[in-house]
Structure 1
Amino acid sequence: MFIAVERGLDVKAFGNVYTAASVDFIAPADSPINTIEDVRGRTIGVSSPGSNSTDFAEKTLRLAGLTPGVDVELLSVGSASDSWTVASQGVVDVAWTASPLSERIIAETGAKVIWRSRDYVQDWSDTCLCATTPFIEKNRDVLAGWMRAVGRGIEMIDTDLERAAEIYGRAIKYKPEIALAALENSRGFFSLDFARPQLEAVVASGVEAGRLGGKVDIDSVVVEL
């Protein structure tokens, strides 16, 4: 969203949704790698240079005291499913992925999570509700209703996880137990409320990766309905 704004698109964010870094790093069940420290001298599959998976791999490795490109080699291998394919074939040691695919791979292959980006990146806004300014101005009631519906979904995750997983599983065509595991692992990270440190972290990460010039005024991008 911030990239779009900086490039001139008149878009605003009016609600937060998922407030944690979503990229996970997994390995086959029989891998000797069990912690982030074990990847020293190993390879990690990421999607492409400048991508979220690359950004989170580099950021979490540094926070763990490892230097990307020196202690660990990052290889661009494509999508999360492609990353798991090459990891399962031994081309890379660790694959990037994200929920609910993480839970599906674990359930179907016995793979293990080595670390989650959110273990190291504490402030983050991963998914938010956005629309163009003209659309917001003409459809505030519609968007407010959408937010209420999302809010009810978040409340269901908090209060009736199994029912939420049943609905979620049907929507994404995953088995109920996998959808349940995915929501269980993400529970507590859903919120409609923005926290400024989360947005500042997203902007700072974009600047660090060279995707943002740092001229985004957060206050002008986030609106209340």
Structure 2
Amino acid sequence: MRILLVEDDLPLARALHQSLRTEGFIANHVADAKSALLTIDTNECDMLILDLGLPDMDGLALLKQIRKKNVALPVLILTARDSIEDKIKGLDQGADDYLSKPFDVNELIARLRVIERRLGTATSSTITIGEVNLDCASHELTVAGQLIELSRKEFMLLKVLLEQAGRIQSREQLESKLYEWGEEVASNAVEVHIHHLRKKLPEAFIKTIRGVGYSIKASTNIES
């Protein structure tokens, strides 16, 4: 899941970015409303974390514009405005959730997972296909009951493929879900991760559709 963090407090943004990466999210950051709108227009995010005190526009005014462009984009407001009236305004403008500063990062992650569950890509779920079981909360993979070690990128790639089981994912689609802005991506990075994953999974579990991309046969159980 690609999260866009709209926050002008740079030290806070850097700390949040690291926490989101640790939890397996792809996180990008902008510090003003104009940049946020440009990013949303190019469909480069699946969820928004929005500060209200932005330098070029009030966050609620930005949220109103976002809802005109994209009714379904999940938005979590993260702000120092903590009155009941502020929360009501934020939710009435179309926010999915509202968290006041200061906050516990674990609570933020938990709320993001709730939103993910609504989108059908819950990191707190276990995804099972045949003998392959991926616990997205603990980042643990078991194959036929045996625990298999995964790198961060391998986990993220396998999670995307399992969630999209039965659908073909192109290399470009996978890259957009694995790498953040400015992160160096080798031309064969996805192929290399697929190669390493195949060594850890049952034979022919990940199928290559030549000239198109990769797919896993659909037969998925997802448990919260």
TM-score when scaled to structure 2? 0.29
Greater strand fraction, Structure 1 or Structure 2: 2
Larger RCO of the pair (alpha carbons < 8 Å, separation 6+): 1
Greater helix fraction, Structure 1 or Structure 2: 1
TM-score when scaled to structure 1? 0.29
